[in-house]
Structure 1
Amino acid sequence: MNDLSFGSPWLLLLLPGVVFLAAMPYLWKRRMSPVGMRYADTGLVSGTGSSVRLRVMPYVSGLRFVALALVIIAVARPQSADAREVIRGEGVDIAIALDISGSMGQQDFDPHRLDAAKEIIADFIVERKYDRIGLVVFSRDAFVQSPPTLDHDVLLRLLDEVDLADRLRIQDGTAIGSGMATAANMLKDSTVENKLVTLLTDGVNNAGDLDPVTVATAAEALDIKVYTIGVGRPPRSGADPQLGPFGGGVVMQRGSLDEETLQQIAEITNAKYYRATDTAALRGIYEEINALEKSEIEILHFTTYRELAVWFLVPALLLFLLELILSQTVFRKIP
């Protein structure tokens, strides 16, 4: 961003003095003119050229004062300031794996599990300004919603489009192994030091051909941490309300969560397992992960200044020369 500043701004205090010097001849002339003295109108007998010359002469005299003002501004060192920031270091590469199976429509979260997760994940993305983040969704199969990107605006739009499997007309199920493998695969070629997956689910691995523990072992070999998050209240008698297929009506379903496997995944990959039983707890989990996995970023701020005095000195010189030429030719005073 370019801003105008002055290296010696106190010199600008001389500008009112220039205005005073320019006005002095006129003030002195008015003071010395006899009050009430009337003269005959000589306009009818004066030459037209002489009349124009007399009217223009004060402006010619004013050129030197305009030039002087420009010189003062130039001496005050006008500068254009250009502020820049340089980012040193590297961020964290993150893959978010999100369960979109039908049970994520249970309404023990506000408004339901998936929408609560999307809102909190969106806040998490906003906080990770310098990190490449990708998004994987999974039900019976896993899908890449977004590859790792620094364009978080696009990522947030793609996150907003995520919905329950039934509403998207894809097969239901919970392929935890496939979801984790797809997320880890996005990070396998990453050259940054810190790589992590956040895997959020409310169920048990019941689809796909990949065993979650086996996938976790492969992720650990790639130096990828997998933070696992189990959502939902513990099973109880009765049931939690859940959105029906395509969002129609409400059905009742008891949830189940394979906490043991999720804990194993986290332990194998040197990460941590979390359990969220409500929206507030889920928000706290993502805030903790955000605090644990900080980007090693150093932001250096630089300001460069470009001197602009020449843009005032050149016009000042031209005005001085113009005033000198005119005063010695067209407007020369004959003794």
Structure 2
Amino acid sequence: MNFERPYILILLLALPFIWQFLVKKKNVVKIKFTNVDILTKITDDNKKFDLHKTVSLLTILCLFFLIISAAGPRKGIVSKEETKHVVDIILCLDCSTSMLALDFYPKNRFDVAVQAAKEFVKGRKNDRIGIVVFSGIPILTCPLTTDTETIIRVLNNSRIGMVKLDGTAIGDAIMLALSRMKQESKSKIIILLTDGRNNMGQIDPVTAAKAAQSMGVKIYTIGCGTATGKSLYIIDDPFWGKRQVYLPQDLDEPTLIQIADITNGKYFNVTTKEKMFAVFKEIDKLEKTEIKVKEYKEYKYLYQIFVVLAFICFITRFVIEKILVFRIP
């Protein structure tokens, strides 16, 4: 609460002086009585309850509420008008068996990617986000939505092997994501995460990237692992049971770089868990949602409340002074 005319509140400083004046003020009337017993009784009753001070207090309260009312008490009601520049984002996550590599021990590549993606989603509450997982074929597991809880739930349920056909269909995954983009959106991006090279599907990744360019879709590519060397895997051998083996890596970095360049995106290489989270944070900074806020303030005036309180104090004072106080005619 604030006041439209706060300078009037300075009158409150006079109330203590008025109180002192009212309390000390006493009208003394001299009358001759032949029997003072009745006066003694009246004096004893007034000692129990000082009506003079009560009347003075009600007078002060009445003045207090009137001053507050005159100052124009009001309560601000703020209304906002927001203009949001929403970004459409589709996460394309490779869920092929090669993502089982334990580069980010004790988690595999896919689990760490999902963790980083969830943190990314939590910070994009105003954007529409969808999810495509792919291996030999792509599958849309979540269409574009602003429902953060649904997106997180879909990510939690994502796992390696959910697409039965193994392989890496990068081009088809991009085309599926493009088919779900809304044409009216001003900003559209795809975050493509993989650790391999395109070896499945009908559409070449570069051709898909050119289609994305024509639609104004930017693609950020994330490559897990390296183009050479070996990665640690745990395999379930039918004879020897679960055991650790090292298998060669096959990351096609040139193609991922080319996809990013064609669409005016950016390529990131990830070899540690920390870098995975850092990459998603960098993409989050690069693609910020623009929100323009216009704020309007309306006021609800509260002076009526204080006028009513002052009136109640005045009526109570009148009743006590004119009716309850014993007066000698």
TM exceeds 0.5? yes
- Whether 2:269 is the aligned partner of 1:278: answer no
- Whether 2:61 is the aligned partner of 1:70: answer no
Distance 1:284 1:169, change over 3 A: closer
Same amino acid, percent of matched pairs: 33
Residue among 131, 142, 154 paired with 2:150:
154
Distance 1:180 1:326, change over 3 A: same
CA contact (8 A) 1:266 1:273 kept: yes
- Whether 2:131 is the aligned partner of 1:135: answer yes
* Cross-structure match for 1:94: 89
Q: How far apart, CA to CA, are the structure 2 residues paired with 1:41 and 1:112? A: 102
* Cross-structure match for 2:115: 119
Distance 1:315 1:249, change over 3 A: farther
What residue identity is the alignment partner of 1:176?
Answer: I
Q: How far apart, CA to CA, are the structure 1 residues paired with 2:322 and 2:328? A: 10
How far off is 1:249 after superposition?
Answer: 5.7
SS where residue 253 of structure 1 aligns? strand
CA contact (8 A) 2:226 2:251 kept: no
How far off is 1:291 after superposition?
Answer: 3.4
SS where residue 256 of structure 1 aligns? coil
* Cross-structure match for 1:18: 15
Q: How far apart, CA to CA, are the structure 2 residues paired with 1:235 and 1:282? A: 19
| Superposition CA RMSD, Å | 3.7
CA contact (8 A) 1:108 1:233 kept: no
* Cross-structure match for 1:175: 169
CA contact (8 A) 1:84 1:303 kept: yes
Gaps of 5+ in 2: 29-35, 237-241
Residue among 215, 218, 233 paired with 1:242:
233
What residue identity is the alignment partner of 1:175?
Answer: A
- Whether 2:211 is the aligned partner of 1:214: answer no
* Cross-structure match for 1:35: none
Per-residue CA deviation, residues 292-318 of structure 1 (Å, 9 max, x unaligned), is 333333233444332222221233234
Residue among 183, 204, 226 paired with 1:233:
226
Q: How far apart, CA to CA, are the structure 2 residues paired with 1:16 and 1:217? A: 77
CA contact (8 A) 1:233 1:278 kept: no
Per-residue CA deviation, residues 7-46 of structure 1 (Å, 9 max, x unaligned), is 45565565465356446655678xx9xxxxxxx9979977
CA contact (8 A) 2:92 2:191 kept: yes
Q: How far apart, CA to CA, are the structure 2 residues paired with 1:67 and 1:143? A: 74
Gaps of 5+ in 1: 33-39
* Cross-structure match for 1:263: 257
Normalised TM-score (structure 2):
0.78
Length, aligned pairs only = 315
How far off is 1:132 after superposition?
Answer: 1.7
- Whether 2:3 is the aligned partner of 1:6: answer yes
How far off is 1:197 after superposition?
Answer: 0.6
Q: How far apart, CA to CA, are the structure 1 residues paired with 2:49 and 2:78? A: 51
